[in-house]
Amino acid sequence: MPLATVNLRSVCTQCNLKELCLPLGLDNHDLEKLDGLIAARRKIKRQQHLYRAGEPFEAIYAIRTGFFKTDILTEDGRDQVTGFQMAGEILGMDGISTDRHVCNAVALEDSDVCMIPYDKLEELSRRIEPLQRQFHKFLSREIVREQGIMMLLGSMRAEERLAAFLLNLSQRMRARGYSALEFNLRMTREEIGSYLGLKLETVSRAFSKFQDEGLITVHQKHIQILDSEGLRRLIGRAPI
Amino acid sequence: MPLATVNLRSVCTQCNLKELCLPLGLDNHDLEKLDGLIAARRKIKRQQHLYRAGEPFEAIYAIRTGFFKTDILTEDGRDQVTGFQMAGEILGMDGISTDRHVCNAVALEDSDVCMIPYDKLEELSRRIEPLQRQFHKFLSREIVREQGIMMLLGSMRAEERLAAFLLNLSQRMRARGYSALEFNLRMTREEIGSYLGLKLETVSRAFSKFQDEGLITVHQKHIQILDSEGLRRLIGRAPI
DNA sequence: CGAACGCTTGACATTTGTCAAACGGCGTGG
DNA sequence: CCACGCCGTTTGACAAATGTCAAGCGTTCG
């Protein structure tokens, strides 16, 4: 796999994502130290892998632009999408555990990431306390995010899962300054289904039902949320 | 809630769990520094909470003896067990993200934990590189563990889930020196069901089916694994 | 000894998956 | 530029898996 790295100095100091990304909360002095850390930027074309399960783990990645999915494929043919990641989010933290990547990371659109060499990050976070704290929070946030998915997969029915998925996406879009009520999905129905533990037909039917009920409009990948309160209500009513 | 702390110096240096727990891989010199960190031991009776969702996060806990479950309860009445933890395992890392515990930790039998104040752990892990590395691996391992559950909840059917659950439990028992093929469950069918995204009746039926097929014997909480290879085969055959 | 709790089992309901057909948008090549 | 073909999506009919409700049993613990 050719390393499509770009040898730009990646300037956290000037990055417009610094309020979402790892540098969150660092002061200017610390930010300058961080600038030395980021080795390279890397461009990933749609459908290309950022990394693959089994590859040696060397770096985590901060997404500057673009959209990714992470998934796990087992020998027996199971395929589970474990997450979708957008700009400002961090990828690859599962690799720390075994020094090898556990899942695959695939770009769902042409993307641009900051490569953060892990040994340097550990070294720097020993010297910069706020960075250490921030990094730990990111790791923990990933644990909490996955607990949310466990909740979703373990105790919600199909339509509740899809509603929760849409609301989560919407909220993350807003956090990044995009429209929270109108956006294009970057993933297929099958990928959504894999993420939500459903078949693509079930996802499609749920989309149609939401549309019939006036909660959203769907045209292929284009989604418009008409009644986000209605979607929330859908989740809020647990069965018994 | 009364803090049932015991003011023993907790001696990692002499703990027989140090090969499983956070000190894993530390040399004697570093272990001694760690001894100063562990503030207190704490005894938790069966059915009592070690911590509750929403409480301020101050420490993580290493289990010395006993057995816990972690779960999340939502306002709308959903209840999801997010994990079962046994001796040598670490509890509470989800709290780092928001400085509050996200889930509840409940003892399923009388238990004994080491309380590790989080601010001291961060401070110490800035000074002891192997401790930092180890702590990061523990955080990452939790991420990977949860990905395994996502896989289970998202792509396995009831019997596969239960087989995976039994094999995982068995493997962890072995790692701790207990019999891997014969043990007592500490949790109810309902708790297993919540963890696996199933109803307790489905869990019970699957247990009965495994027994009919000669894979295990079940008497209430007592489990004997007769054919672990058979259980593995059950998982290995993905649908399609 | 009795009550409460957890477990098992049966009959039936509901949800979701499976298979199949058809539609539509998009990109490619003529 | 248009036509064709591919891929992703939608929808329907039916099948399978799991949930629901209910009854009864065994253990355990007060």
pLDDT digits 0-9 by tens, A126-141:
999 999 999 999 999 9
The CATH number of residue A26's host domain is: 2.60.120.10
Higher per-residue pLDDT: B94 or A14: B94
The residue among A104, A116, A142 with the most chain B CBs within 10 A of its CB, best to mutate, is A142
B20 and B56 co-located in one domain: yes
| Domain final position from B152, B171, B200 | B152
CB B176 within 8 A of CB B54: no
**Cβ–Cβ contact A197 with B under 8 A:** yes
A39 and A72 co-located in one domain: yes
The residue among A147, A190, A196 with the most chain B CBs within 10 A of its CB, best to mutate, is A147
B166 and B143 co-located in one domain: no
Q: Is the pLDDT of residue B38 over 90?
A: no
Neighbours of B90 (CB within 10 A): 21
Q: How many structural domains compose chain B?
A: 2
Q: Where are the beta strands (DSSP E) in chain A?
A: 5-6, 40-44, 49-51, 59-73, 79-86, 90-91, 104-117, 182-184, 216-219, 222-225
Q: Do B96 and A235 count as a contact with CB atoms less than 8 A apart?
A: no
A145 and A43 co-located in one domain: yes
Give the helix ranges, DSSP H, for chain B.
28-37, 118-127, 129-155, 158-175, 189-196, 200-212, 228-236
Instruction: Show the domain range for B75.
Output: 5-152
CB B26 within 8 A of CB B130: yes
B177 and B204 co-located in one domain: yes
**Cβ–Cβ contact B154 with A under 8 A:** yes
B26 and B137 co-located in one domain: yes
Residue numbers 206-235 of A with CB closer than 7 A to any atom of strand D: 207-208, 218, 220-221
User: CA–CA separation, B125 vs B132, rounded Å?
Assistant: 4
Higher per-residue pLDDT: A218 or B7: A218
A28 and A121 co-located in one domain: yes
User: CA–CA separation, A23 vs A12, rounded Å?
Assistant: 7
B48 and B102 co-located in one domain: yes
Which pLDDT score is estimated for B23?
Answer: 82
pLDDT in tens, B202-225: 999 999 999 999 999 999 999 999
CB B203 within 8 A of CB B193: yes
**Cβ–Cβ contact A195 with B under 8 A:** yes
pLDDT in tens, B85-133: 999 999 999 999 999 999 999 999 999 999 999 999 999 999 999 999 9
The tokens describing A49, both together, are 């892998």
Per-residue pLDDT band for B2 (boundaries 50, 70, 90) equals very low
**Cβ–Cβ contact B98 with A under 8 A:** yes
A74 and A115 co-located in one domain: yes
pLDDT in tens, A47-59: 999 999 999 999 9
The tokens describing A201, both together, are 């037909």
Least confident of B34-38, B67-71, B143-147: B34-38
Which pLDDT score is estimated for A238?
Answer: 63
The CATH number of residue B164's host domain is: 1.10.10.10
What percentage of chain A exceeds 90 in pLDDT?
79
Which pLDDT score is estimated for A1?
Answer: 45
CB B99 within 8 A of CB B56: yes
Q: Which residue of B has its CA nearest to A191?
A: B154
B117 and B168 co-located in one domain: no
Neighbours of B239 (CB within 10 A): 10
B98 and B200 co-located in one domain: no
A109 and A198 co-located in one domain: no
